Amino acid sequence: MGFNITVTAKGQMTIPKHVRDALNVRPGDKCYAWVRNGEMIVVPRNKPLSELAGFMGKPPSGREATVEQIDAAIEEEAVERYANSGRRG
């Protein structure tokens, strides 16, 4: 189920209360956002560090990853975990 959000003249958006509640987002919480395929993806950063163990899967053997590859892997996993959590707009 989707919902409409209006962008203000200052570029701000208000997250509806039912969405904030579903995501457990509180005033002052940080979110991570990026654009992929013309869509804005926003993921709350209110998870404890312990929940991120194994977040990127098994490291590739014999080679180092670039910052861009690490960022892409994190974005993919974050979207996949969010989509699989059943918490959709």
pLDDT digits (tens, 9 = 90+) for 4-54: 889 999 999 999 999 889 888 889 888 888 888 888 888 888 765 555 556
What pLDDT score does 53 carry?
56
Contact assessment for residue 7 and residue 13, using Cβ atoms and an 8 Å cutoff = yes
For the cut 80, the answer to whether the pLDDT of residue 1 exceeds it is no
SS3 41: strand
What pLDDT score does 66 carry?
75
Among 18-27, 49-58, 59-68, 71-80, the range scoring the smallest mean pLDDT is 49-58
Q: Any bridge partners for residue 32, and if so which?
A: 43
Domain boundaries, the chain: 30-84
